Structure 1
Amino acid sequence: MTAMHNPPHPGVLLEDYLGATSLAEAARRLGVTRVTLSRIRNGHAAITADMALRLGLLFGTSAELWLGMQASYDLWTERQKPRPEVLPLAG
């Protein structure tokens, strides 16, 4: 099995989309606090469905783009943790 590399937290891409726009201005347009947006940008908070919709509107992207990146990041992170054995249902 080939090892997968850690997908980036979507906050990393957020930095690219912001370009020259300040975090404070983006937060104002999104209707959230600068702290909220900063936590996402720094990988300390996840992108929720609500935030994905807002980011889609702000940047002209799809909400699915943001949620997909978050899901990829979350799944990779969880796969790094030990898991109890789960027995499949007989079928």
Structure 2
Amino acid sequence: MARMHNPPHPGQVLREYLGDMTVTRAALQLGVGRVTLQRIVNGVAGISPDMAYRLGAAFGTSPELWAGMQMQYDLYRAARLKRPKIVRFA
């Protein structure tokens, strides 16, 4: 999988998918709490595998689409962290 340059948080993409639908209505249809969904849309929380399946079913997409966006976002952020030099295993 090619890494995207500064990928958006998946919540931003979800906001676009929701269109005019309120977070409250979407949360009800997804069977999750409004606060849970609001945290994702606001970029405070990530998309779990369970949520990826729910979103896939709701939008007719694959759960891999949502999980993949989260993974790209997480890997991009992790690549920016300072870490000690790691010696390769022999």
Same fold (TM over 0.5): yes
Does residue 1:48 correspond to 2:42, yes or no? no
Number of the residue aligned with 2:38: 38
Q: Percent identity?
A: 56
Structure 2 alignment gaps of length 5 or more:
none
Number of the residue aligned with 1:5: 5
Task: Give, in angstroms, the shift of residue 84 of structure 1.
Answer: 1.2
Equivalent residues in 2 for 1:1-91, closer than 5 Å: 5-90=5-90
Aligned residues: 87
Q: Kindly report structure 1 stretches of 4+ aligned residues shifted beyond 3 Å.
A: none
Task: Give, in angstroms, the shift of residue 82 of structure 1.
Answer: 0.2
Residues 1-24 of structure 1: per-residue CA shift (max 9 Å, x gap): xxx731100000001110121111
Give the TM-score normalised by structure 2: 0.92
RMSD: 1.0
Output the CA distance in 2 between the equivalents of 1:60 and 1:73. 22
Work out which of the two has the higher radius of gyration on C-alpha atoms and give 1 or 2.
1
Residues 13-45 of structure 1: per-residue CA shift (max 9 Å, x gap): 001110121111100011111110000001100
